[in-house]
Amino acid sequence: MRSCEATGKNIEQAIENALFELKAPREDVDIKILSEGGIFKKAKVLVSISEDALPKYEKKEELKRQEKEEKFEDESTADDDFVEKYMAKKIEITNEPSKIQIIADEEYVKVDKDGEVKEEKKEYFDKKVDAEEFLKKVLEALNLTAEISKEEDEKFVRYKLTGENLNDLIGHHGECLFALSSFLSAVCRNEDRKKVVLDVENYREKRAETLTVLAKRVASKVAKSGRYYKFEPMDASERKIIHTTLQNDERVTTMSKGEEPHRYLIVFPREYRED
């Protein structure tokens, strides 16, 4: 995208909205005011990448295109990145907390770095993998000690770990926890097909409380300033907490953008989305 028309309750807000869509700083663009707005009319601007800055953005577009092509080519051969085997004998936490590599003997399921199943052997699902035994092997491989408890309702089977020195199992903003929980759900299928969810040291409940308070504070800030607020990328369950918290707030509205695992949430003044 090299140009963008945007609106706002004033010219400055319209410019900010256009810069956000272009992902460009003010010094790299030319700005044309289409409408200054008024009491019943929003301001409107046309923001375009300036000629002297254009080569930089053309280069970025070309690099992005090449990356997409390389990623497409790699997906068919990157078994080292995706092949994960169930019933692990060895577990390694890589430099990226969200990647948990599990190595075992036979019968495998292919998953991506976030635990989503990409390919599976039919024979695998004929075998029953006990979630509690699986978690014990994880803890043993990491030299950790924890108490494992289980709760079950109509939709979920929840396993909770409590103990000391479990922060590395949670990771930054829960990255390791969410990855391990997704993998656990993929390999430890139950007869009722309920989703298996993992929690460590009540992290999910504590994080939900934190996000609820944060969402309300951000909503007040957005309503007062008239400008959007962009959260950092987060897990789908965490984005849902913010969406749910603000769904009845008449001052703001929410929207998710981007691709997993970098999908993020934006809070807008409601009038912006209604335009």
Section 49-78 average pLDDT: 68
| CA distance linking residue 122 with residue 199, whole number of Å | 29
The reported pLDDT for the residue numbered 159 is 92
Compute CA distances 150 → 72, 153, 170, 182, 231, whole Å: 40, 10, 18, 17, 32
Is the CB of residue 220 less than 8 Å from the CB of residue 249?
A: no
Share of the chain above pLDDT 90, in %: 21
Bond prior to 269 in cis (omega within 30° of 0): no
pLDDT tops 60 at residue 3:
yes
Section 109-121 average pLDDT: 48
Pairing of strands 29-35, 43-49: antiparallel
Q: With cut-offs at 50, 70 and 90, classify the pLDDT of residue 61.
A: confident
Q: With cut-offs at 50, 70 and 90, classify the pLDDT of residue 102.
A: very low
26: helix, strand or coil = helix
Element containing residue 60 per DSSP (H, E): helix 54-75
Residues 6+ apart with CB under 8 A from 152: 158, 194
The reported pLDDT for the residue numbered 22 is 82
The reported pLDDT for the residue numbered 1 is 62
> Strand locations in the chain, DSSP E?
3-8, 29-35, 43-49, 83-85, 90-93, 100-103, 108-111, 117-120, 146-152, 156-163, 195-200, 229-230, 252-257, 264-269
> Strand locations in 97-246, DSSP E?
100-103, 108-111, 117-120, 146-152, 156-163, 195-200, 229-230
CA 113 from centroid of its chain's CA atoms: 12
Per residue in 212-266, pLDDT tens?
Answer: 999 999 999 999 988 889 998 888 889 999 999 999 999 999 998 888 778 899 9
Of 32-36, 56-60, 71-75, the range with the highest mean pLDDT is: 32-36
Of 29-43, 66-80, 207-221, the range with the highest mean pLDDT is: 207-221
Proportion of the chain in helix, strand, coil states, percent, rounded to 5: 40, 25, 30
pLDDT tops 50 at residue 75:
no
Q: With cut-offs at 50, 70 and 90, classify the pLDDT of residue 108.
A: very low
Is the CB of residue 170 less than 8 Å from the CB of residue 176?
A: yes
Burial of 81 (0-12, 13-18, 19+ CB in 10 A): middle
- Please, what are the domains in the chain? 3-75 (no CATH), 79-201 (3.30.300.20), 205-273 (3.30.1370.50)
107-113: list long-range contacts, CB under 8 Å, 24+ apart: 108/83, 108/84, 109/84, 109/85, 109/186, 109/187, 110/79, 110/82, 110/83, 110/84, 111/82, 111/84, 111/182, 111/183, 111/186, 112/82, 113/81, 113/179, 113/261
Section 189-217 average pLDDT: 87
pTM of the predicted model as reported, rounded to 2 decimal places: 0.50
77 or 268, which is more confident?
A: 268
Per residue in 143-189, pLDDT tens?
Answer: 889 999 999 888 888 999 999 888 888 888 788 888 888 888 877 76
The reported pLDDT for the residue numbered 191 is 64
Q: With cut-offs at 50, 70 and 90, classify the pLDDT of residue 50.
A: confident
